[in-house]
């Protein structure tokens, strides 16, 4: 493939979804269901384009595009290397897959699909950008689209959750911006590759107070965006109250891409030398991650609502990733990236399954899942496989990620992280097993099951309050489509199949990782 064409792909990937976001609105004036069609066409073509880009990156190395032809010193670059392409594949693949649920599962309306495409564009921009200020802009585009999508739920709760996320998320992005400002003061550049060279040359090198303060601000900003304990409080509300069609997308991608951006800034901008030479930098990152792992999974165990439980589980899984960043070994970094991808696929599948169950069965709490396996064998089976993968039982992608991170912890001789990984597996087992036990071994009790579709209660509780009506109204078995079930199955199959591809992942990421560590 010619250079000019392959260089254009990253630009297309960022610009196309943002431009296409206008189409559902325009065509929506004439056709009611235009949004889904355009979004599906756009996201599937984006996925194909990303696959093409991945083959180019594989055969010819990193693809760099300078926007408008301006040189690196003051222009903006889009960089597609092995790491960003991996994340782009996850973003485009998941965003195309989730549409199989939203076609019938909602939220309906063309404005929703405009927001959907804006979010995809923002995420891809965040993935490919090679400029730290541009990263802030895409962080905010992603954020704005996410706030709007979360608030698009029927109930008033979703607006409150959206506003909470907006306020906290803005503080996170603003702190990141402050860090960028301090870096600019110290070095006078905003390009990531130039920053990596300019930081050691700044006055005092890595000991420069501005550089150290910048790292602190950037890390705290991203910790908020990735939802690390104790600044995770926005996340469970947002995931729980978002519409069922939005949660899989947000849970699988938004925090994942923020976590990727943190890795990018830590390893490409500040570099391994900064992390190892700055006292307490690694220790703080590891501590934040490890505490999030324990706090997140402990809180997940005590939740009643399934979506909320899965949300707290995300806090702990991202804690694992952040702790792996702090280990600063090649193996742990590869493990973190595998876990990012694996967690994205598993959480997308789990949240879609939770949506399908709420739609066809009316069950939202752990107790209401009783006896699910007998009546909804396909979706219960998919969910069970994904939960087992999340625990990290081989063969599954959850196991591969955790294995590499644990290996990295042993190599770095940070035994506390190895212990935390073991503990987190136990706690993940605790909350997953609770759900598995309800689905497979607790018989459904009709009298204690007010939201069941054919219980008598349903007919009478029509106007008893927004929470109750919503649940029982949604219990329509015929609303579950083949597309929804197949996407759950695809996610489960992927979670298992990728469990065999640990070596593949390692070989694919090896050039990037060895470049970062040398």
Q: Which spans of this chain sit near another protein (rule: CB under 8 A)?
A: 74, 133, 136-137, 140, 143-144, 147-148, 151, 156-157, 159-160, 162-163, 166-167, 170-171, 174, 177-178, 181, 184-185, 190, 465-467
d(CA 483, CA 121): 24
d(CA 420, CA 412): 15
DSSP single-letter state for residue 2: -
* Closer Cβ to another protein, 122 or 344, answer by number: 122
Distances (CA, A) of 399 to 91, 342, 412, 470: 21, 9, 20, 37
Q: Which two tokens stand for residue 361?
A: 């069965």
Q: Which two tokens stand for residue 183?
A: 């870096």
* Closer Cβ to another protein, 104 or 144, answer by number: 144
* Closer Cβ to another protein, 215 or 431, answer by number: 215
- Shortest CB 286 distance to another protein, Å: 27
Q: Which of 337, 485, 476, 311 is CA-nearest to residue 404?
A: 337
- The two most distant CA atoms of the chain are separated, in Å, by 75
* Closer Cβ to another protein, 74 or 280, answer by number: 74
Beta carbons within 8 Å of 492's beta carbon, 6+ residues apart: 349, 381, 382, 385, 386, 389
* Closer Cβ to another protein, 161 or 444, answer by number: 161
Q: Which of 20, 250, 246, 226 is CA-nearest to residue 118?
A: 20
- Shortest CB 87 distance to another protein, Å: 23
- Shortest CB 173 distance to another protein, Å: 8
- Shortest CB 235 distance to another protein, Å: 17
* Closer Cβ to another protein, 182 or 324, answer by number: 182
* Closer Cβ to another protein, 73 or 302, answer by number: 73
- Shortest CB 175 distance to another protein, Å: 9
Q: Which of 369, 396, 360, 391 is CA-nearest to residue 307?
A: 369
DSSP single-letter state for residue 78: E
d(CA 131, CA 297): 35
Torsion of CA 52, 11, 142, 26, to 10 degrees: -100
- Shortest CB 185 distance to another protein, Å: 5
- Shortest CB 353 distance to another protein, Å: 27
* Closer Cβ to another protein, 144 or 430, answer by number: 144
- Shortest CB 8 distance to another protein, Å: 24
Specify which residues 64 forms β-bridges with.
79
Do 226 and 259 touch, CB atoms closer than 8 A? yes
Q: Which two tokens stand for residue 358?
A: 């709420």
* Closer Cβ to another protein, 5 or 167, answer by number: 167
- Shortest CB 155 distance to another protein, Å: 8
d(CA 487, CA 413): 40
d(CA 135, CA 125): 8
- Shortest CB 203 distance to another protein, Å: 15
- Shortest CB 281 distance to another protein, Å: 23
d(CA 158, CA 151): 5
In this structure, the strands spanning 63-66 and 77-80 are antiparallel
Place of tokens 């990620």: 401
Do 121 and 143 touch, CB atoms closer than 8 A? no
Q: What angle do CA 65, 69, 70 make, to 5 degrees?
A: 105
**Could you give phi then psi for residue 323, rounded to 5 degrees?**
-60, -40
* Closer Cβ to another protein, 184 or 517, answer by number: 184
* Closer Cβ to another protein, 160 or 504, answer by number: 160
d(CA 32, CA 39): 14
- Shortest CB 27 distance to another protein, Å: 24
Give me the helices (H) in 367-476, please. Answer: 372-375, 377-391, 397-411, 415-441, 457-460, 466-474
* Closer Cβ to another protein, 145 or 373, answer by number: 145
* Closer Cβ to another protein, 133 or 440, answer by number: 133
Do 265 and 196 touch, CB atoms closer than 8 A? no
- Shortest CB 334 distance to another protein, Å: 34
């Amino acid at each position: 493939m010619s250079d000019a064409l392959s260089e254009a792909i990253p630009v297309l990937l960022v610009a196309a979804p943002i431009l296409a976001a206008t189409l559902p609105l325009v065509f929506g004036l004439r056709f009611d269901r235009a949004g889904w069609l355009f979004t599906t066409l756009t996201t599937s073509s984006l996925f194909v384009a990303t696959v093409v880009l991945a083959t180019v990156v594989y055969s010819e190395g990193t693809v760099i595009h300078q926007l408008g032809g301006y040189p690196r010193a003051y222009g903006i670059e889009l960089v597609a290397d092995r790491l960003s392409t991996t994340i782009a594949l996850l973003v485009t693949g998941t965003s195309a897959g989730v549409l199989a649920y939203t076609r019938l599962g909602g939220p309906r309306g063309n404005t929703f699909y405009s927001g959907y495409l804006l979010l995809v564009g923002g995420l891809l921009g965040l993935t490919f950008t090679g400029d730290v200020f541009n990263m802030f802009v895409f962080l905010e585009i992603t954020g704005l689209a996410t706030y709007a999508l979360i608030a698009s739920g029927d109930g008033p709760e979703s607006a409150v959750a959206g506003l909470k996320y907006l306020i906290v998320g803005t503080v996170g992005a603003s702190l990141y911006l402050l860090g960028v400002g301090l870096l600019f003061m110290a070095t006078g550049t905003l390009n990531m590759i130039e920053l990596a060279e300019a930081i050691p040359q700044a006055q005092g090198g890595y000991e420069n107070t501005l550089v150290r303060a910048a790292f602190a601000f950037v890390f705290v900003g991203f910790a908020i965006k990735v939802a690390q304990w104790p600044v995770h409080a926005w996340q469970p509300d947002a995931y729980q109250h978002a519409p069922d069609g939005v949660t899989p997308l947000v849970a699988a991608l938004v925090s994942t891409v923020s976590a990727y951006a943190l890795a990018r800034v830590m390893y490409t901008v500040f570099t391994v030398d900064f992390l190892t030479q700055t006292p307490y930098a690694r220790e703080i990152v590891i501590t934040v991650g490890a505490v999030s792992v324990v706090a997140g999974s402990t809180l997940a165990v005590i939740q009643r609502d399934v979506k909320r439980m899965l949300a707290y589980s995300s806090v702990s899984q991202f804690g694992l990733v952040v702790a792996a960043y702090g280990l600063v070994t090649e193996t742990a970094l590869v493990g973190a990236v595998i876990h990012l991808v694996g967690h994205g696929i598993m959480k997308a599948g789990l949240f879609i399954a939770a949506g399908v169950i709420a739609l066809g069965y009316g069950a939202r709490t752990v107790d209401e899942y009783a006896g699910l396996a007998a009546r909804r064998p396909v979706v219960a089976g998919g969910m069970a496989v994904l939960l087992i993968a999340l625990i990290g039982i081989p063969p599954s992608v959850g196991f591969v990620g955790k294995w590499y991170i644990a290996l990295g912890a042993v190599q770095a001789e940070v035994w506390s992280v190895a212990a935390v990984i073991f503990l987190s597996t136990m706690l993940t087992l605790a909350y997953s097993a609770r759900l598995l036990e309800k689905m497979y071994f607790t018989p459904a009790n009709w009298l204690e099951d007010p939201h069941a579709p054919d219980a008598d209660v349903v007919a009478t509780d029509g106007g008893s309050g927004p929470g109750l009506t919503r649940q029982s109204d949604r219990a329509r078995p015929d609303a579950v489509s083949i597309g929804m079930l197949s996407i759950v199955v695809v996610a489960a199959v992927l979670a298992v199949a990728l469990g065999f591809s640990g070596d593949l992942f390692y070989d694919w990421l090896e050039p990037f990782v060895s470049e970062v560590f040398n």
